[in-house]
Amino acid sequence: MDFRKVRRMQQRIVRSPEETMAFAGKLAGILEPDDVLTLSGDLGAGKTVFTKGLAKGLGIQEMVSSPTFTIIKEYRSGRLPLYHMDVYRISDEEDIGLEDYFDQGGITVIEWAENIPSWLPADYLNVVITRLDEKARKITFTAHGPRSEHLYREIMKDEDTGN
Ligand SMILES: Nc1ncnc2c1ncn2[C@@H]1O[C@H](COP(=O)(O)OP(=O)(O)OP(=O)(O)O)[C@@H](O)[C@H]1O
Ligand SMILES: [Mg+2]
């Protein structure tokens, strides 16, 4: 078995929107400038709820809402800036200037990033949210690059100690 490959994937079951937010909030605590998270999952899976938890964990005071129509929303009242994107309506052929955000010292979160594979940075943590039933979700992390692999290991450490 390719142990290294297996270690790069981490799964966690959450049983309510509040639990999703709390889990994302914990992740927010270990994020550093220029980290990029991609969020995948069906409509209504919980990508925006996850981002709200992340924002709360970063200490962002503003109300975070889905950027489906604006595509990009920026929040600057937290420990780090948050660039929240929803590229549901964008295709890979369009250049919406995403790369300008990746080195601005903030956290980039991209909902529906699978729509724009050509525009993703070299290193990002993919978060897949799968609906199990009305309130239960499976959250799967996959690291793409050394920085996200480090993040991934930090998440796993927390889980191992039961915190
Ligand atoms: N465990 C859970 N985690 C997250 N959301 C949950 C959970 N259980 C139920 N929900 C509900 O699922 C919905 C998730 O909506 P949300 O807007 O976050 O989805 P989304 O993945 O961002 O969808 P879209 O692709 O339309 O942007 C909310 O109504 C939320 O209350
Ligand atoms: Mg959303």
Among 43, 35, 150, CA closest to 102: 35
Contact, 4 vs 135, CB < 8 A? no
The pLDDT value given to residue 104: 97
- Answer yes or no: is pLDDT of 110 > 80: yes
Question: What is the bridge-based pairing of β-strands 137-144 and 36-40?
Answer: unpaired
Length of the chain: 163
Question: What is the bridge-based pairing of β-strands 9-14 and 137-144?
Answer: antiparallel
Q: pTM, whole model, 2 decimals?
A: 0.93
pLDDT top residue among 38 and 157: 38
The pLDDT value given to residue 3: 47
Average pLDDT, rounded, for the chain: 91
Quickly state the pLDDT bin for 159 (edges 50, 70, 90): low
Report the distance separating Cα 64 and Cα 48, nearest Å: 8
Task: Show the domains of the chain with their CATH numbers.
Answer: 11-160 (3.40.50.300)
Tens digits of per-residue pLDDT, 115-135?
999 999 999 999 999 999 999
- Answer yes or no: is pLDDT of 84 > 50: yes
Tens digits of per-residue pLDDT, 64-76?
998 878 899 999 9
Q: Cα dist. 135→94, 108, 113, 147 in Å?
A: 35, 26, 24, 31
Tens digits of per-residue pLDDT, 19-57?
999 999 999 999 999 999 999 999 999 999 999 999 999
Cβ(16) to ligand 1 under 6 A?
yes
Question: Residue 128 Cα, ligand 2 centroid: separation in angstroms?
Answer: 13
Name the residue with the closest Cα to ligand 1, atom 13. Answer: 44
Report the distance separating Cα 127 and Cα 138, nearest Å: 10
Work out the number of other CB atoms within 10 angstroms of the CB of residue 91. Answer: 8
- Kindly report the backbone phi and psi dihedral angles of residue 93, in degrees, each rounded to the nearest multiple of 5, phi listed first: -80, -15
Average the pLDDT over 137-145 and give the result. 95
Which atom of ligand 1 is nearest to 39's Cα?
21
Cβ(44) to ligand 1 under 6 A?
yes
Tell me the angle at which helices 146-160 and 17-28 cross, rounded to the nearest 10 degrees: 120
